[in-house]
Amino acid sequence: MTRLNTNQIIALVLAALAVGYLAMAWQIRPFPLPRPIDSDMFPKVLGFTLLGLSLLLFLEKPKAQDVPEELDPEEQTGPLLLRPWSRVIVTSLALVAYALLLVPVGFVLTSVSLVFGLAWYYGYRRHGVNLATSLGVVLTLYLTMTRIMGVYLPTGLLPL
């Protein structure tokens, strides 16, 4: 059996998505009064279009731009936490933690921690400058949004 290329794998994922989408489109409740076109029509058209396009993608040969470029081999042999994909995963986890802690801990503390922590993790070692920049930018953002624009941001643990 030949191996599937990237386009074919993506096409299969998209086809599954289209089938799921169509299944949900069929569950949309009809409007009680008869109408020339109801809420489910457009989603059904979209679902079938995506299914058709997935089929075409399956048949399309991938070009150079359709395949991710090779990552730096030097970086890939480095410590696990500092490898390119680890950086994306750690950043994503940091953003999830930020989202969950924003309200209970407060905007200023979580934001300063996020900026300082991620800049440090990405390799910035001038900690004083890092802290001053994180604090300065976050406080400026906080004061601009709360005092000038009247946007509420959670205060959390700090009595700001």
Partner 1 sequence: MESLNNLMYGFGIALEPMNIAYVFAGVFAGTIIGMLPGLGPISALALMIPITFAMEPSSGLILMAGVYYGAIFGGSSSSILLNAPGVAGTVATSFDGYPMAKQGLAGKALAIAAYASFVGGTISIVFLMMVAPMLSKVAVSFGPAEYFSLMVLGLTAVVSLSDKSLIKGLIAAVIGVMISIMGIDLQTGTERFTFGTAHLLDGIDFLVVALGIFALAEVFYMLLRGGGGKEQPRNAIGSLKLTRSEVREIAPPIARSSVLGFFTGVLPGAGATIGSFLGYSMEKRLAKDGDTFGKGNIKGVAAPEAANNAACTGSFVPLLTLGVPGSGTTAVLLGALLVMGVSPGPAMLVDRPDVFWGVIASMYIGNIFLLVLNLPLIPYIAKILEMPRPLLLALILIFCMVGVYGMSFSVFDLLLLLGFGLMGLGMRLFGFPAAPLILALILGAIMEESMRRALQISGGDWSIFIDKPISMWLLIIAALSLLLPVVKQGLARIRAR
Binds partner 1 (CB under 8 A): choice among 12, 22, 53, 160:
53
SS (H, E, C) the chain: CCCCCHHHHHHHHHHHHHHHHHHHHHCCCCCCCCCCCCCCHHHHHHHHHHHHHHHHHHHCCCCHHHCCCCCCHHHHCCCHHHCHHHHHHHHHHHHHHHHHHHHHHCHHHHHHHHHHHHHHHCCCCCHHHHHHHHHHHHHHHHHHHHHHCCCCCCCCCCCC
Query: Which member of 4, 16, 72, 158 binds partner 1 (CB under 8 A)?
Result: 72
Residues 105-134 that bind partner 1 (CB under 8 A): 111, 114-116, 118-124, 126, 129-130, 133-134
Radius of gyration over every alpha carbon of the chain, rounded to an integer in angstroms: 24
Select from 4, 16, 26, 60 the one that contacts partner 1 (CB under 8 A): 60
Contacts (Cβ under 8 Å, ≥6 apart) of 51? 15, 18, 19, 22
Among 28, 81, 157, 158, binds partner 1 (CB under 8 A): 28
Q: Does 5 bind partner 1 (CB under 8 A)?
A: no
Q: Is 87 in the site for partner 1 (CB under 8 A)?
A: yes
- Does position 21 interact with partner 1 (CB under 8 A)? The reply is yes
Residue 12 interacting with partner 1 (CB under 8 A): no
Task: Give residues in contact with partner 1 (CB under 8 A).
Answer: 6, 10, 14, 21, 24, 28-29, 31, 35-39, 42-43, 46, 49-50, 53-54, 56-57, 60, 62-63, 65-68, 71-72, 75, 84-85, 87-88, 91-92, 95-96, 98-100, 102-103, 111, 114-116, 118-124, 126, 129-130, 133-134, 137-138, 141, 145, 149-153
